[in-house]
Amino acid sequence: MKHSKSKRQFTLGMTSLERRGLFSLAGIYSLRMLGLFLILPVFSLYAHDLQGATPTLIGLALGAYGITQALLQIPFGLLSDRIGRKPVITAGLILFALGSMIAAMADTITGVIIGRALQGTGAIAAAVMALVADLTREEQRTKAMALIGLSIGMSFAIALAVGPVLNQWIGVPGLFWTTAVLAILGIGVLHLGVPHVTAPRHHLDVEPAPQQFLRVLGDSQLMRLALGIFILHLLLTASFVVLPISLRDESGLAPNFHGYVYLPVLITSILAMVPFIILAEKKRRMKEVFIGAVAILGLAELAWRYFHPSLAGTIAALWLFFTAFNLLEATLPSLVSKQSPAGSKGTAMGVYSTCQFLGAFVGGWAGGAVYEHFGLEGTFTFCAGAAALWLFFAATMRPPQYLRSQILSIGKVEPDEAKLLAKRLTEIPGVADAVVVAEEGVAYLKVDDERLDKAALTEINPTNRDQPIAVK
């Protein structure tokens, strides 16, 4: 009852159609991510028995989905603009299910690598986000994207806790079969639960635009953040190549009890990060909190390096790692949103997500290779070095401007009129940047809430004007 009430409060202001579409798409996204994450805490323990397995190939199998996901997510998103969202998402879920089945039936490490890579070709993230944008009004979109993000975080926590338990009952092949079933269920939810969109539009706030890639790639501050998410997921995947082995062989914890460690650590680490989120956003201490979290990641890796034979030391380091990890997972997208120019957020997030999946791929491969040649201590040292590299770039980034993205529905305008409106919007106190896209009928703004003249913004009221806009 309380859960249902919180859902209604979160979606206050949304229509029933928006809520139906949003919760259905959040379910699809979370089911898919649950499938990807389920094997993370158990795969390295299982894969040593596969024919041809080496630590390098085990790490490659763990991260293989990342390379295909990185290569295809932006093209699939753009393709969904042309042929529709549901066909692209359906095809992606089918590919994901096929990859899961191949991995489930494989008795060689090569077969699992092929299956994992095929899982990654089901790159539906951009298409799902675009469909969310199609189904929600501009003023509800921030809440919609936040719910999608929340569903991903919940999937990750559930996977780490449930994966070891399910592995005890059905084994890793059973986990792969479970992911295939989840993907097929996702197809059913897509076609039965998600409303039909007759005319999908391109949304610059959630989708990349090819003409903006050079601008985003040339922005050194955005590239620092892209490097950050790359290293964050490199650390996650590389650490989980060896962490389950360390817990079993060094700390003496049986694999079926690993989930009982991960779940309370995750829950308490999420609670611990909340004050730092408030400090970063409300008190405008984002850079200091950000740098501190990166430093904590490095300290956690060093703690694993030196204290991994101790179960208490391993759990303490795990708590430090996930507190910093969850904090950075929450703040990095916020920083990308603040840093990206008006109308370029979708492109910036597309580059960001691509780097995230590349990080998972490189982390799995490199983590396995380092473990093969240098053992547990070498792998944790490698991860600490990667965190130190990130710390350097984080320390040299500019303090972020505390700007919020805002979208105004302006209705139909001519291109010349759109330019005049953009100029007039930027003259309003607190509006740092404005881009008006005539074909979308929306204006993308970057605003400082502490300085924003809301009355002046309301006065423009572009959707109800009868006269052309005049520049004052």
Which amino acid is present at 72? L
What pairing do the DSSP bridges indicate for beta strands 442-447 and 431-437? antiparallel
Cα(17)–Cα(340) distance, rounded to whole angstroms?
30
For residue 470, the model assigns a pLDDT of 32
| pLDDT tens, position by position, 10-68 | 555 788 888 998 999 999 988 888 888 999 999 999 999 999 999 999 999 999 999 99
pLDDT tens per residue across span 181-215:
999 999 999 999 999 887 677 777 788 888 889 98
Q: How much is the pTM?
A: 0.90
The DSSP annotation for 387-434 comes to HHHHHHHHHTSPPPP--EEEEEE--S--HHHHHHHHHHHHTSTTEEEE
pLDDT given for residue 462 in this prediction: 45
- The pLDDT score that the predictor gives to residue 11 is 57
Q: What residue type is 275 in one-letter code?
A: P
Residue 415 · residue 401 · CB < 8 Å: no
Is 444 in a helix, a strand, or coil? strand
CATH 3.30.930.10 is the classification of domain 404-464: no
Which residues of the chain, if any, have pLDDT below 70? 1-12, 199, 461-472
Determine the pLDDT at residue 180: 96
CATH of 213-400, one of 3.40.50.2300, 1.20.1250.20, 3.40.50.300, 1.10.510.10: 1.20.1250.20
In the predicted model, what is the mean pLDDT of the chain?
89
Topology alike, domains 17-195 and 213-400 = yes
The per-residue pLDDT for 110 is 97
Domain 17-195 of CATH type 1.10.10.10: no
Distance CA 444, CA 410 (A): 10
For the chain, the domains span 17-195, 213-400, 404-464
CA distance 35 to 21: 21
The whole-angstrom separation of Cα 46 and Cα 30 is 25
Supply φ then ψ for residue 51, to 5 degrees: -65, 130
